[in-house]
Amino acid sequence: MKRIAVLLFSLFLLLPRAFASNDLSLKTVVLDPGHGGKDPGAVSKDGKTFEKTFTLDIALRLEKLIKQAHPEVTVILTRRDDRFISLDERAQIANRNDADLFISIHINSAYSPKSSGFSTHVLGQSSQKNRDLYKANLELVKRENSVVLLDESYNAQQSSFDPDDPSSYIFMTMMQSAHLEQSIEFAQQINSRLKGGPISVNRGVSQDPFYVLWKTTMPAVLVELGFISNPEDLAKLKKGAEREELAKRLLNAFEEYKKAYDGSVSIDAKLDSKAQVSDNKPLYGIQIFSLKSLLPDNDSRILGYKPYVKKSGKYYKYVISLSDSPEDVKKNLPEIKKKYPDAFLVKIEAE
């Protein structure tokens, strides 16, 4: 039995630089202020206050806080002013910039003024039996995803996504993200840090088919910071001090996540005879997904591979293409990515 540390990093890191420096720390975070321009997002009852204004203000505050506390981290905003950015472009900004983390900031709304509170969301299916979270959050999901219709280049047939077509969501939630575990962990950290803050009601963490999360290729979370339709939430959101407090709490969650990301996760594991880890020679591989259940060896989702599987927390991590040569693994990545679009590299070191 060996003690090993598994250091995860996104598929879209600058791989030669990462392998050369052995620095796998969190380097880039993308903040996504929801809506903007011709898309106001949720609107207050009197029609004078817009979601897009709050989300941009909080994102700018969070950017400033991260830069002050972590000058080594690159912070990128999908928009810095009141302009429209398509859902697809928001995700692509993160993908093109090799982001290690994506945070989409929103304000909720409901028909009833009694609805209030904050919630955090990741892409995926419900973790609760007999509960369809798409149905539970139907209006929220459809409202956020309907922004895709404002994109002049959007074509439902070409994109294979229609916000009003239930089959689009079935397809989306069938996509197993390799970053699901990390996304859930960060969402839980956000949820924990927001407790006791300006927005008092905790609506929890849920997994939902948000388009902008589906298109990202790194751990990603969408957070709803209160209800613009609730008088108490709205009154707090209108105060700069309260928005600053929300940004500080998001910073705290970011710092907690970064600390875990930058460190190593120690686990007990035994590698097979073909893939032993020596004290001086780490292994590299490609994680294709993580699941809550252990698959049989002949499961069709494994596509004939013989993966190294390790249970970490509630999830089983599936890693293929193990090699002591990072160059060999990198060569295999494009072909594997055709089969597993969310696949990314992992490094396994002896402690």
End-to-end CA distance of the chain: 12
Dihedral sign of CA atoms 314, 320, 324, 329 in order:
negative
71 contacts 25 by C-beta, under 8 angstroms: no
25 contacts 261 by C-beta, under 8 angstroms: yes
* Residue-level pLDDT, tens digit, the chain, 351 residues: 333 333 333 332 323 333 333 455 789 999 999 999 999 999 999 999 999 999 999 999 999 999 999 999 999 999 999 999 988 889 889 989 989 999 999 999 998 999 999 999 987 654 443 344 444 454 544 444 444 444 455 444 444 445 455 444 444 444 445 677 788 889 999 999 999 999 999 999 988 777 777 778 788 999 999 999 999 999 999 999 999 999 999 999 999 999 888 763 333 333 333 444 455 577 888 888 777 678 888 888 888 888 888 776 666 788 888 888 888 888 888 888 888 877 777 777 654
Q: At what angle do helices 240-262 and 51-69 cross, to 10 degrees?
A: 50
* pLDDT for the residue numbered 349: 64
pTM: 0.67
Residue type, 33: P
* pLDDT for the residue numbered 334: 86
* pLDDT for the residue numbered 313: 62
* pLDDT for the residue numbered 263: 64
Domain 25-262 identical in fold to domain 270-350 = no
* pLDDT for the residue numbered 125: 57
* pLDDT for the residue numbered 128: 42
Alpha carbon separation from 176 to 4, 10, 196 (Å, rounded): 26, 16, 33
CATH class as words, domain 25-262: alpha beta
* pLDDT for the residue numbered 139: 54
* pLDDT for the residue numbered 127: 45
* pLDDT for the residue numbered 86: 87
* pLDDT for the residue numbered 171: 42
Domain positions in the chain = 25-262, 270-350
Q: Which two tokens stand for residue 278?
A: 């020596």
Region class of 35: left (phi > 0), else alpha (psi between -120 and 50), else beta = left
96 contacts 59 by C-beta, under 8 angstroms: no
* pLDDT for the residue numbered 49: 97
For the domain spanning 270-350, the CATH number is 3.30.70.1070
Rounded CA Rg of the chain: 21
343 contacts 305 by C-beta, under 8 angstroms: no
